[in-house]
Amino acid sequence: MLNHLGEALWRTGRLIEARNALTGALDLLASAGDDPYLHAQVEGNLGNVALQEGDLDMAAALWQSALNSMAQLDVVFDKIGLLNNLGGLAYAQADYGRALAFFQESLELAQELGDERGIQEALRNLTLAIGRHDEVVGSEQLCRAAGDLALARRNYEQAVSLYDRLGHRREAAQARNNLGGVLFRQYEIEAADAVWSDALAVLESVGDMVTAADVRRNLELIARRGSQRRIGCRSGFRRGN
């Protein structure tokens, strides 16, 4: 009861009351004989409160403790949310490699359950984290890191497939733009050209002119690359997006 009350209070922004209710729930569990699953749920909610209060270290510790408990109990569904929370926190702290690891595990669990909402959320998070990881690692180093590119390609392809199936044309086109960037970095130029061209047509039709402009710049990279080859110049590596 106190756990549900604490969660409801947190959702309405009454953080002090929420923390008191959730702390009371932990005290009751300790005195009445601990229920590991409920204990982990309370810790997860306390982590949400800690995050809203700005205590990132406490939020991470509570979520990690809850995640460890859920792993021991083999409760897959609850792990998905906790992994996304931990990934989001790592992303906020600019630890993009760690964020990728959390989001990737969340995606795999969501796929295992057939949880389309969880898959969509994990793919959206991965799209953000991969992009930032790309910027931080640096294009040349990332190009050498074939494993990173393979992971990015697989996730973007999954994102395209999911958004196509759901009928989300704009999101699918944005995912194709990102996929084209990976294909370009893998020197699959014709495939990148086709993916970006498809994305551009959709983005223009739905009125997303900001992303459409980005795709046009990407296509210009291919056009310049072809021109350089025709005059006998060796094309250097350029970032796709």
CATH number at residue 12: 1.25.40.10
What is the number of domains present in the chain? Answer: 1
Decide if pLDDT at 235 tops 50. Answer: no
Domain-located, residue 208: no
Domain assignment of residue 217, yes or no: no
Does position 241 have pLDDT exceeding 50, yes or no? no
94 or 172, higher pLDDT: 172
Whether residue 1 lies inside any domain: the answer is: yes
> Is position 192 within any domain?
no
- What is the mean predicted confidence (pLDDT) over 124-139? 62
- Burial of residue 128 (CB within 10 Å: 0-12, 13-18, 19+) is middle
Assess if residue 51 is contained within a domain. Answer: yes
Answer yes or no: is 206 within a domain.
Answer: no
Residue 151 lies in a domain: no
In terms of pTM, does the model score above 0.75? no
Distance CA 181, CA 186 (A): 9
pLDDT at position 49 over 50: yes
Residue 16 lies in a domain: yes
Mean pLDDT of 161-185: 86
pLDDT of residue 134: 53
Q: Which domain covers residue 12, as residue numbers?
A: 1-73
Per-residue pLDDT at 131: 62
What is the torsional sign of CA 217, 219, 220, 221? positive
